[in-house]
Amino acid sequence: MKNPIAILILLSGLYLYSCTEKNNPNPNNTTAEETSGQEDFVKQGKHLVEIMGCNDCHSPKKVGPKGPEIIEELLLSGYPSDRPVVTFDSKLIKEGFAMFYPDLTAAAGPWGISFAANLTPDETGIGNWSEEQFKKALTEGKLKGLDGSRTLLPPMPWVNYISLTDEEIHAVFTYLKSIKPVKNIVPNPISPDKM
């Protein structure tokens, strides 16, 4: 091949081929800085979830040598659907008392019985939620973050989260989307008249 134009065309073609997405070692086109930023949000979100007490109610627990311990494979998956629906002493509830299931994933009070939601990225949890829905649920107390839905029931302390910044909400949402999805359909709440 003595033709310099043919050589130039061949080299240009090889260069372009080597730059295609097919050969790109980073198919998502994310930079190291973006990946690091994502990891920072996950780390910050994990910290916020822990200090905001999300595991207290949303993570099933077992009793261990030091008391209740989170069942790691069920982290933030809510009240287990394979568990029988709990019953509470309705006489005490009618007197104004509130009670918790031993692992705190269900609570009863004048509002009826509520069950902690699945916060994992499974479709039975928040897998199909947008970040805007998550923000609305967390800061406005809207069920599934949908306008026109009922208010989240106690003991969900959503009023404590009204002042979370958009960055903090993004970090929590990013962390929750990064954890293991757990298929778990949490029971619907039980109204006080059905207890």
List per-residue pLDDT tens for the chain, 195 residues long.
456 555 545 555 544 444 544 444 554 555 555 566 789 999 999 999 999 999 999 999 998 998 889 999 999 999 999 998 878 877 888 888 999 999 999 999 999 999 999 999 999 999 999 999 999 999 999 999 999 999 999 999 999 999 999 999 999 999 999 999 999 999 999 998 887
- The upper half-sphere exposure of residue 138, i.e. CA atoms within 13 Å in the direction of its Cβ, equals 24
For the beta sheet containing 112-115, the strands, ordered from the edge strand earlier in sequence to the opposite edge, are 99-100, 106-109, 112-115
**Which pLDDT value is given to residue 87?**
81
Cα 57 to Cα 114: distance, rounded to the nearest angstrom: 11
Cα 160 to Cα 127: distance, rounded to the nearest angstrom: 24
**Which pLDDT value is given to residue 7?**
53
Q: Which residues contact 124 (CB under 8 A, 6 or more apart)?
A: 118, 182, 183, 184, 185, 186
Cα 125 to Cα 118: distance, rounded to the nearest angstrom: 5
**Which pLDDT value is given to residue 67?**
87
**Which pLDDT value is given to residue 93?**
87
pTM equals 0.79
123 DSSP assignment = T
For residue 61, the surrounding DSSP H or E stretch is strand 61-64
Single-letter amino acid, residue 140: E
**Which pLDDT value is given to residue 89?**
79
